[in-house]
Amino acid sequence: MMVRVERVLDEAQVLELRRLIESGEWVDGNETSGHQSRSAKRNRQLRQGSQAEKTAGRMVLDALGHAPEFIAAALPLKVFPPLFNRYEGGEAFGAHVDNSIRRLEGTDFRIRSDLSATLFLAEPDSYEGGELVIEDLFGEHRVKLPAGDLVLYPASSVHRVTPVTSGVRLGSFFWLQSMVRDPGEREQLYRLDRTVRVLSAERGPTDDAVLQLTNLYHNLMRRWADA
């Protein structure tokens, strides 16, 4: 399941975040690459563990905590600290698969990567190329969103970033472990949650049908989730 989450960051937040990361130290993007992706990756990354990266990461995590659509779709248990990358001058990231386990170097923090996320930090008309291409059984999906919007997609998918031929593509990327491991169960919960929210807005939260569906949602969460 792919989900677009709009306006995780508003315009002012995007500008603040960009000012912070653009003043930081940028290094070879392969600093965090796995064995398979190392040969495919050509970009730069805000140095992992730097003060700029930590501060910017906290800003992203705080914004995610106020994004109901993200929480409903991801049901996050653990989120890897957000990283930041930039592409320009023909840089790209060839087809690859994200590691199944992500470990934060120097700590005992690790997650099973159920989902990957990319938060776009540059407007799509400010650079050429740079589409995130995600493959599934239905073919390729090309994603290039407005600054502040996020795409959530299966970490198990083959994906790539096309060459950026002009301008600069800035983004934040991270992985997360969901409370619900099974993607089919997670999708059903997301669809049910959206239905509850729509009906609640139309009929009110105390409507009998809304209460019954809310009860079903939470009982399924009790059955499927690891908290």
pLDDT band at 36 (very low <50, low <70, confident <90, very high): low
pLDDT at 13 > cutoff 90 = yes
Please compute, for residue 226, the number of CA atoms within 13 A of its CA located in the half-sphere on the CB side. 8
Give the mean model confidence (pLDDT) for residues 151-163.
98
Half-sphere exposure of 160 (CA within 13 A, CB side): 18
Domains annotated on the chain, with CATH: 3-178 (2.60.120.620), 183-224 (4.10.860)
Helix (H, G, I), strand (E, B) or coil at 63: helix
Nearest to 225 by CA among 77, 65, 70: 77
Contact 70, 119 (CB under 8 A): no
Q: Which residue, among 69, 167, 163, 165, has the nearest Cα to 117 in the 3D structure?
A: 69
The encoded tokens of residue 23 equal 């003043």
Q: Is the predicted pLDDT of residue 30 greater than 90, yes or no? A: no
**Residue in 24, 61, 15 with CA at minimum distance from that of residue 45:** 24
Please tell me the predicted confidence (pLDDT) of residue 33.
57
The average pLDDT across 17-44 equals 84
Q: Mind listing the pLDDT tens digit for each residue in 47-61?
A: 999 999 999 999 999
**DSSP letter (8 states) at residue 86:** E
pLDDT tens by residue, 92-149: 999 999 999 999 999 999 999 999 999 999 999 999 999 999 999 999 999 999 999 9
Judge contact between 6 and 28, C-beta under 8 A. Answer: no
Spatial separation of the C-alpha atoms in residues 135 and 79, rounded to whole Å: 23
Write down the residue that tokens 């290094």 correspond to.
27
- Burial (CB count <10 Å: 0-12, 13-18, 19+), residue 105: exposed
State the pLDDT at residue 34.
57
Q: Give the total residue count for the chain.
A: 227
What would the pLDDT profile of 173-217 be if each residue is shown by its tens digit?
999 999 999 999 999 999 999 999 999 999 999 999 999 999 999
The model's confidence at residue 227, banded by pLDDT at 50, 70 and 90, is confident
* Predicted local confidence at residue 40, as pLDDT: 84
Sign of CA dihedral 177, 178, 182, 188: negative
